[in-house]
Amino acid sequence: MAWSYRRQCLAALGLQVALLLLGMGGLALGGLAIDVVRHALDEAAPAPPWPLGWSPPAGASPMLLVIILGGAALLAAGMRAYFNILYAVSVNRLVQGEIVPSLRTQVFGKMQRLAFRFFDGNASGALLNRTTSDVQAVRSFVDLVLIQSLIMLMSLGLYLGYMLRHNVGLTLWCLATTPLLLITTMVFSRRVQPAYAANRAQMDDLVLRMSESIQGMAVVRGFAAEEILEADLNRRNRLVRDGQQRIFRHISLFSPAIGLLTQVNVIVLLAYGGSLVFRRALSLGDLVVFAGLLQQFSTQVTNMATVVNTLQESLIGARRVFEVLDTPVEIESPPAPRALPAADGMAGAVQFEGVTFAYGQGRRPALEAIDIDARPGSCVALLGPAGAGKSTLLGLIPRFFDPTRGIIRIDGVDLRELDLDQLRRQIGVMFQDSFLFSHTVAANIAYGWPEAPRADVERAARIAGADDFVRALAHGYDTVLGESGANLSGGQRQRLGLARAILRQPRILLMDDPTAAVDAETARDIWSALAETMHGRTTFVATHAPALLQRADVILVLEAGRIVERGTFAELSARAGGRLPALLGDGADDHHPDASSRAAQSGAIRA
């Protein structure tokens, strides 16, 4: 990922090289000024080692030389400050202006293309953390680990080269603690990485529980579980805190240990370097420069504690981010997709040929040997107990999943040969509980087609039986809905979901028990809207409502993933030993449009 931003990274590193050279130059100028003053006071002292073979004009006074050297050092300090500003701006522009937004977009975009099984295996709180804090952790890797590590290596290399050039023995003595630094760093890394991983999982769990508690507040209050919930969240919060304290405990031991080892180097310098100055084997200026470089060297080594700690944290975040980015996309458009035949009066034929589907290799098939031939404009009802495979069958038509075996065709074209967007634009989907976004009513109906003309939006609402109650809202179609449409009733949400499903005039309409979550009166209103909606388009509906079953051209009875019966409502009702009566049961009469007395009784019981 960093390689894709190599130009910006190289520019940042170039600025750091300039900063390093200016810093070393300032130290060298200071040391040279000390040697000039010392030689002026004591001619027996070593002459100043002028760089690059240059020497000052004969007769130049020591005071003039000191002023010139001081001015040059001041100029170097000014340039260093300017380059520091440029470096800070360029790095922040790189990581916060480019890497973070781009990576967050990549992660979220990849999630949109992943199979549903990925979301089944990852909690929503963990996925939110991957697009927020984990992305920031990857950003930390780029600017606080990658760039800083390269800067540290360059700094150490330049400092080491300068020091070796001036005195090899002193340099080796001053760096004698380096092996201990490496051992300490390795021990710290081995201990802290598992702690970061466990703490990130604890944070995911905390975010998930908090999110669920907010979404399920009605349930929490309905069961007077506020104290239980608060105690549970406090317990999870303490787990996060304790995990962070364990990490901080490791850091609090590591950083001082690194600092202590680097200070040992200073003691060695003063002891051994001082003896060299007394023996005139090293100039006082060089000793001062050595001290400054060793201090810088120690600072860079101390920064290694921060780099290593950030590395462990960012590796955990990076692993979680790239788990998303590296997850293979199971459902994709083919390289050269075919086009669906032009929509006409015969569009919308759906064929299942020997379709078998399992949610994972080695698992029992959720559907097995399914054969369906739905004519254009027909209605196919799916009936069966929970877990029979009704929702799975519906999910195969828009390619939420691909069959393990067999072929599904729309208007004679294999689904796997179609462009996914084109396929799904020809299919309207309505779920048991239509999810609505915190946006206007019009935007919710036009979701997936934001540029839809307002006239088309209103027409879809009229067909779905939603136009009257929408116009009665405070701002009509421009009314902003609450989170998940909380300011609407269940029936109103379902009608908006139906309007959204039919806005594009799809060839095929899929409905998964659309009246399961509403009362009998609302269900009858939705059925009347469905009657017009289903006209002229192929419809698959999973339902136990007799009113919908009676309208179906064929009912498919599923059991354990297989079609065990098929026929019209009249045929299945009259069949001796058939499963229809047992699947509907007496309770199903509550949804029958003629069961007014039972609906009245139900209303009295609810009252």
pLDDT digits (tens, 9 = 90+) for 127-165: 777 888 788 888 788 777 887 888 888 887 887 887 887
Look at residue 214 in the predicted model and tell me its pLDDT: 73
* pLDDT-based confidence at residue 379 (cuts at 50, 70, 90): very high
* pLDDT-based confidence at residue 604 (cuts at 50, 70, 90): very low
Look at residue 129 in the predicted model and tell me its pLDDT: 77
CB 388 within 8 A of CB 562: no
Strand partners, 538: 508
CA distances from 142 to 98, 518, 594 (A): 12, 52, 68
Look at residue 414 in the predicted model and tell me its pLDDT: 93
CA distances from 333 to 206, 448, 512, 587 (A): 37, 18, 25, 44
Strand partners, 409: 351, 414
Look at residue 312 in the predicted model and tell me its pLDDT: 76
Q: What is the mean pLDDT of residues 44-63?
A: 77
CA distances from 231 to 226, 227, 389 (A): 9, 6, 39
What is the Cα–Cα distance from 420 to 115, expressed in whole angstroms? 13
Q: What is the mean pLDDT of residues 102-107?
A: 87
Six-digit token pair at 112? 């949109």
Look at residue 409 in the predicted model and tell me its pLDDT: 93
**Mean pLDDT estimate for the chain:** 81
Does the model's pTM come out above 0.85?
Answer: no
Which range has the top average pLDDT, 143-152, 205-214, 265-274, 506-515? 506-515
Look at residue 601 in the predicted model and tell me its pLDDT: 29
What is the Cα–Cα distance from 144 to 341, expressed in whole angstroms? 55
- Please, is 322 exposed, middle or buried when counting C-beta atoms within 10 Å of its C-beta (0-12, 13-18, 19+)? middle
Which range has the top average pLDDT, 39-43, 245-249, 376-380, 488-492? 376-380
CB 561 within 8 A of CB 366: yes
Please name which of 311, 319, 265 lies closest in space to residue 292, comparing C-alpha atoms: 265
Residue range 454-480, pLDDT digits in tens: 999 999 898 888 888 899 988 899 998
Residue bearing the bigger pLDDT, 493 or 600: 493
Strand partners, 383: 557
Question: Could you identify the residue written with the tokens 């109650």?
Answer: 469
Look at residue 585 in the predicted model and tell me its pLDDT: 66
Please name which of 42, 104, 55, 51 lies closest in space to residue 324, comparing C-alpha atoms: 104
Residue bearing the bigger pLDDT, 113 or 410: 410
Contacts of 268 (CB under 8 A, 6+ apart): 173, 174, 176
Residue range 525-538, pLDDT digits in tens: 777 777 777 777 89
Look at residue 406 in the predicted model and tell me its pLDDT: 94
**pLDDT higher than threshold 50 for residue 589:** no
3-state secondary structure at position 436: coil
**pLDDT higher than threshold 80 for residue 441:** yes
Look at residue 518 in the predicted model and tell me its pLDDT: 63
Q: Give me the percent of the chain exceeding a pLDDT of 70.
A: 93
Look at residue 305 in the predicted model and tell me its pLDDT: 66
CB 374 within 8 A of CB 353: no
